Each structure stands twice: as C-alpha cells, then as structure tokens.
Chains A and B, each alone.
Chain A
Amino acid sequence: MADVIAYAEMRDGTLRPVARETVSAARVLADELGGNVVAVALGGPGSADAARELAGYGADRILTAENEAFANYDPDSAVRAIESIAGDMSPVAIVFPASAQGKDLSARVAGRLDRSLASEVTEFDVEDGSIVVTRPVYAGKAYARLRFRETPALISLRPNVFPVVKKQGAGVAEALDLEPGEVRTRVSGIEGGSRERLDVREADVVVAGGRGMQAPEHWKMLDDLVDALGPQATLGASRAVVDAGWRPHGEQVGQTGKVVSPSLYFAIGISGAIQHLAGMQTANVIVAVNKDPEAPIFSVANYGIVGDAFEVVPRLTEEIRTLRDSGG
C-alpha cells in the first residue's frame, strides 16, 4: 500500500500547530500515491481526544498513545513506535515537521531504519512513482532537488510553508499498544522562555529588530507593533542584538539562528548581512525600515521605507491599530 505516516507533534495534551500542516501535506502526498494517511500522535493525558481533530485534515487512521510519560517528548518511545508501525505497514513515506522535536526525531528514525532523510523540505512531487523533494541548502543560497530511490522516504517539512487544508479523512482512531520502555535519553523537563509569544518559526508575522534599534529598552516599540498585528505575530532579532545581550538567542533569525518563512517579515534597523538574509529570504512578503538607503536589506525587501525607525514604527503601529479597530 502507498500509505503515508504523518508524525503529529504534541506538547502536553495538545497538538502543536505544525501537526495540522504535517497531516495536510501527508494527505496531498497520499492522494498522489493513492494511499492512506496514518497520523501518529503520542502525548500526555487528553492527547488521544485532541488528536481526533486530525480526521478533519485528512487522517484516515489516527494512532494514539496517551501516557503521562509522553507529556514531554520521549524520543526512545517515539522511535520505537514509528519503527514498529513502519514495520507493520511498509509506508512509502514518513512525514515529520521540521520543528525542534521533528528534526530530532526524524534523524533518529532515519538512523534506526537505516534510511535517508530529506530535512526542511519546501516542495514535494511524485514523478514516475518516486518521491522528489526540493530543499534549501547552503542556508538557502541554493536549492537541491532530490529523488528518493528507496522507501520509506523520510521527510521533514519546513514549518509555515505547507498550508493547513481542511479535508475529511476516514478518521479511525486506535490506541497504540505503546508503554514507555527503556529510556536511554530522558527529557526531564521543559524550561519555558517567553511562552506568551509564538516562536519565530511558527509565527505568521515576524517583527525583527536589529542594531538600528540602538538599545534594548526600545524593544517596547516593536512589542507594541507585534501586539497591534495580533496573536499570529511575534518578535525576531538579528545576531548583532542577540550577541549584545539585548534579546534572547531563541529570537535570532539567520544562518546561526532560525530560518523563518512567515507571510510577512518586518526588518527594522537591520542592515541585511548575508547571514541574516539566509534566515528570512523565503518569507512571503518582506518589509524593511532602515535609515540607510544603501542597506542591502532593501535588495530583498518587497517594500522599503527609508527612514528613522523611531518615527516609522510608532506610526505603523498606529495605522495597523486603526485598521484592526475598524474591523479591517
């Protein structure tokens, strides 16, 4: 059978936003290949119920394992679960999100199954029966097209690239016979950062500040803009301001930070060094605000304003608030 396994990432008892992207993309792939989508959801109490929602994104079978021990990521159990499911059903592909957890797990599964993995995939097709993927390499300075010549094809999908699509699948839910087993690598806790904001990789809109913001206290201004843009927006940063200790490393966008693909990216007081561009040039729309008209950021920006961030940003926040208040 041409079945596709989708790893539906959970944290605590709830689905992560990438889970819906992964299942939606698996549906597209399974439709091309004529197979079923089998979602695998491991999580803490409440997760089995939460995972049923995946039927609405095209899952034909939803395999759940609800256990206090899976409230945190348990890599050893997750690898065992996928290994045994893959052994039972010989899938053509196993699709993961290229999230922190998905990248860790997909590489472990690849090692365990001794199969190749294409990471951070941004496109996939089926050509003459085999799966062909596109993925950025050299920090997005080039794109590689790669053909899988074996199955299962292991793929991790770049977050925010594949759309969430509502589509009814058969949606049969089954509990996996999975007990926490021998744990070599134990996740003993999670330390939350700024949990009230989305991670830069998950957000639909990113407001990134650079050294042009001049001091950490000026981030209030960017915070206000994020608030005006709504709950799908979050803050990002250049390396210069992370190295200066103004912002946490988790916000850094770029070659040595995170690679983001939001629908809208604001670069405020960021010059646009090649290592920064590597992290954001796949954003759908880029807006740059910089007082230097020669700044390289303008060469990738869809729209630029040449000017002082301290004047432009508050005005922008005001305009967007007005728009929101008027229901626009």
Chain B
Amino acid sequence: MNSIVCIKRVPDSEARIRVAADGRSIDPSGVKFDMNEYDKYAIEEAIQRREAAGDGQVTVITVGGDEARETLRQALAMGADDAVLLRADVSLDGLPIARALADEIRGRPFDLLLFGKQAIDDDGMQVPAMVSELLGLPCATVVVSLQIENGRAIARREIEGGHEVVEFELPGVIAAQKGLNEPRYPSLKGIMAAKKKPLEEKDVALVDGGLELVGLTGPPARPEPQIVGEGAEAVPELVRRLRQEVKVL
C-alpha cells in the first residue's frame, strides 16, 4: 500500500492573526506555526494502511518555504518514510499549488493520494479536488471513514444533514476530515529516526493562477456588546430588543 500525502505548514488555530503593514500579508511575529490539523488525519490514515498491509511507502510532499522542512520532519517523525519539499512562495490561490503538486505526483506510483480537507490559512477546500482533476483520478472530499477492499475504496463524506457514500477504484484521492482516525503524536524514537529519513528539496516556479490579491483586512467590527441583564428576569428585555432593535424575531 503506497501513499502520497500532501501537507501544509499553517498558523496554529489559536494564533491571533494581524494584517501586516503592507496590507497584503499577515504579521508573522508571535504566530506559532504547525502542521495543518487535517493533514495529520491524512498522514495517520496512510501510516495505518501501510502498517495493516505490512509493506509500502508513505511519501509526504509540501509546497512552501524553507520553514516547511520542519513540518515534513514532523510527518517523518509520525512515521512517513520520505519527504519532498517543493520550495516556492505560496499565495492564497490554490491553483498554482495544485499544479505544482500534480506535476510532482504525476509519474510516481501510488495507491492512495491523501490531503487534508482544508488548509486553515487560505480555507480554500480546493487543492485536493483540483489535483484529482489535473491527474484524472477519482476523488472523495471531506472523508470521515474509509474502507478499502480488493482495490476498491468506499468512503463516507460529510454533507448537510448526513453522509454520502462514495466509491471508487484505486488509485484515487481522499481529503481527510476530523473523525477519520486519531492522529498519533511523534514518539521520541520517531523523532530520532526522522532525522535520518530522506528529505528531497527542489525549487519550483509556481505558474500564477487567475487570482490577484488586492489586499487583506481584519474582520469587520462587531457592534458594541451589550449585557442585557442577569438571569431569567432579563429575558423579556432580551426578546424586546431582538424584536425591536434588530428585528430578528
């Protein structure tokens, strides 16, 4: 069972995000970075499949700056076998990333190509399905469970009010959602072993997509909060304001 997992380094979900003075990027000072949460489910799934099959290779790939090396080492420490850093400046447009990943993956043999369902920086939810189309492969996104039998995958994906059952022949693509598994933490042994695992690096030139960043701003300000009162006695006044001030009841 050979898998390729695409992972991304992103600001931690706790991070306070401030727009930098240039109005086009975020101020990285004080921001902690981590592997994208959903990508951890993707790696875990690939490792578990390799372990169950008793053989195979898990390759992790990222498109990013030098700092992303650390994220790849983290994946190797979890148990991936080798890693590829495609060095480039990434933007908020998913297409150039998808193209670079597809170019790297084309020609590599694999059974499963895994992604996280969403990168929590650009929140695009687009790279996995884009890559699947660029490679002409079947794909299930937002996957919460996966069964593989005789080369056929049966995935359940989250939709409004339930799940869709999606079936396809391998090789294919899945994008992992929380619930797929419990990602492991790297062990000390894993961290030591990761230092000796192969990590290939190459520069890639991203081909611009069709989106140009005009600017970044903070979120629109919320109205001044008002405490209506304390306990159940405040309820009639709350209802009055919901009806008369903001007219939502």
Residues in B neighbouring A312, C-beta threshold 8 A? 231-232, 234-235
Given contacts A111-B132, A117-B94, A285-B242, contact A304 B225 (CB under 8 A): yes
Q: 8 Å CB contacts to A: which residues of B79-126?
A: 92-95, 98-99, 120-126
In the assembled complex, A69 has its CB within 8 A of some CB on chain B: no
Given contacts A185-B140, A190-B164, A300-B222, contact A79 B156 (CB under 8 A): no
Residues in B neighbouring A193, C-beta threshold 8 A? 161-163
Could you say which of A38-46, A53-61, A249-257 contacts chain B? A249-257
Could you say which of A24-32, A96-104, A165-173 contacts chain B? A96-104
Kindly state the separation between the CA atoms of A75 and B159 in the bound complex, as whole angstroms.
14
The residue in chain A whose Cβ has the minimal distance to the Cβ of B131 is: A111
B168 touching A103, Cβ below 8 Å: no
B139-172 CB mask vs A (1 if < 8 Å, else 0) is 1111010000000001011111111111111001
B163 touching A142, Cβ below 8 Å: no
Could you say which of B13-21, B57-65, B66-74, B183-191 contacts chain A? B13-21
B133 touching A147, Cβ below 8 Å: no
In the assembled complex, A146 has its CB within 8 A of some CB on chain B: yes
A111 touching B213, Cβ below 8 Å: no
Given contacts A119-B124, A142-B17, A190-B163, contact A298 B131 (CB under 8 A): no
Q: Which residue of the partner chain, among B37, B129, B158, B165, contacts A108 with CB atoms under 8 Å?
A: B129
Could you say which of B1-9, B46-54, B195-203, B204-212 contacts chain A? B204-212
Given contacts A186-B166, A281-B222, A305-B229, contact A137 B92 (CB under 8 A): yes
Q: Which of A104, A107, A115, A302 has the most CB of B within 10 A?
A: A107
In the assembled complex, B11 has its CB within 8 A of some CB on chain A: yes
Q: Which residue of the partner chain, among A101, A132, A301, A316, contacts B214 with CB atoms under 8 Å?
A: A132
For this complex, into which size category does the number of interface residues on chain B fall? 35 or more
B81 CB to closest chain A CB (Å) equals: 27
B225 touching A301, Cβ below 8 Å: yes
B30 CB to closest chain A CB (Å) equals: 14
Residues in A neighbouring B128, C-beta threshold 8 A? 107
The residue in chain B whose Cβ has the minimal distance to the Cβ of A197 is: B161
In the assembled complex, B243 has its CB within 8 A of some CB on chain A: yes
A107 touching B130, Cβ below 8 Å: yes
A226 CB to closest chain B CB (Å) equals: 14
Residues in B neighbouring A138, C-beta threshold 8 A? 11, 15, 17, 26, 120-121, 123
Kindly state the separation between the CA atoms of A108 and B140 in the bound complex, as whole angstroms.
11
Residues in A neighbouring B139, C-beta threshold 8 A? 75, 108, 185
Residues in A neighbouring B223, C-beta threshold 8 A? 302
B12 CB to closest chain A CB (Å) equals: 10
Residues in A neighbouring B164, C-beta threshold 8 A? 72-73, 100, 187, 189-191
24 chain-A/chain-B pairs, Cβ below 8 angstroms: A72-B164, A73-B164, A107-B127, A114-B134, A115-B210, A116-B94, A117-B95, A118-B211, A119-B123, A142-B19, A142-B216, A185-B166, A190-B163, A191-B156, A256-B13, A256-B178, A264-B242, A293-B227, A299-B225, A302-B246, A305-B234, A306-B231, A312-B231, A323-B243
